[in-house]
């Protein structure tokens, strides 16, 4: 009798759990997976100067992480106010090695394909439509007498990117 009492004491608390179905997902049925805050940044972005695209940025969302690539004019000249004065025809490419969301926007770390040098940018969405963004070079020391570049306006192409960068 003592053994039966001991078994009942041990297994009685577990009896209500025996009739329950096993949980298969953390999301209740019928509810969609939460949307990543990175979704608005994913896609193809472009900046133009004098009617010509001089900077392209492709950001691809994969498993809540952004990857991508940037192609831009190799040489950029600024006026005294930090605005674009001219851009070269020759292009340079960089790979996005890190993308971190913070309260100010998306901080991108990119690595030059040729020189392996890294640069950091802040991509800030322009509200309310989020189809435009300002890209600002950050953490870069400017040569004496050179104006700090103003943010560049990028426009988002229709839709979002879902394939890997080329």
In-domain check, residue 163: no
User: Is 2 part of any domain?
Assistant: no
Q: Is residue 15 part of a domain?
A: no
H/E element, 5:
helix 2-11
Q: How far apart are CA 132 and CA 12, in angstroms?
A: 61
Interval 24-34: pLDDT, tens: 445 556 666 66
Q: Which domain holds residue 51?
A: 39-156
Rounded CA-CA distance 119/139 in Å is 8
Q: Could you tell me if residue 1 is inside a domain? A: no
Rounded Cα distance between 99 and 65, Å, is 7
Q: Specify the higher pLDDT residue, 62 or 23.
A: 62
Q: What is the mean pLDDT of residues 9-30?
A: 50
3-state secondary structure of 12: helix
Give the model confidence (pLDDT) of 33-80 as tens digits: 668 889 999 999 999 999 999 999 999 999 889 999 999 999 999 998
Number of domains in the chain: 1
Q: What pLDDT sits at residue 147?
A: 78
In a domain, 17, yes or no: no
For residues 117 and 111, the answer to whether their CB atoms sit within 8 Å is: yes
Q: Which two tokens stand for residue 107?
A: 């901080």
């Amino acid at each position: 009798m003592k053994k039966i009492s001991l078994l009942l004491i041990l297994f009685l608390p577990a009896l209500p759990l025996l009739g329950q179905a096993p949980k298969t997902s953390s999301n209740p049925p019928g509810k969609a997976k939460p949307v990543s805050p990175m979704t608005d940044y994913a896609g193809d972005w472009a900046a133009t100067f004098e009617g010509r695209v001089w900077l392209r940025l492709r950001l691809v969302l994969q498993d809540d992480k952004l990857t991508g690539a940037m192609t831009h004019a190799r040489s950029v000249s600024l006026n005294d106010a930090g605005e674009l004065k001219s851009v070269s025809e020759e292009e340079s490419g960089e790979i996005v090695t890190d993308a971190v969301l913070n309260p100010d926007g998306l901080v991108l770390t990119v690595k030059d394909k040729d020189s392996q040098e890294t640069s950091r940018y802040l991509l800030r969405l322009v509200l309310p439509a989020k189809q435009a963004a300002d890209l600002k070079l950050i953490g870069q020391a400017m040569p004496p007498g050179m104006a700090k570049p103003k943010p560049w306006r990028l426009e988002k192409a229709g839709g979002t990117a879902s394939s890997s960068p080329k």
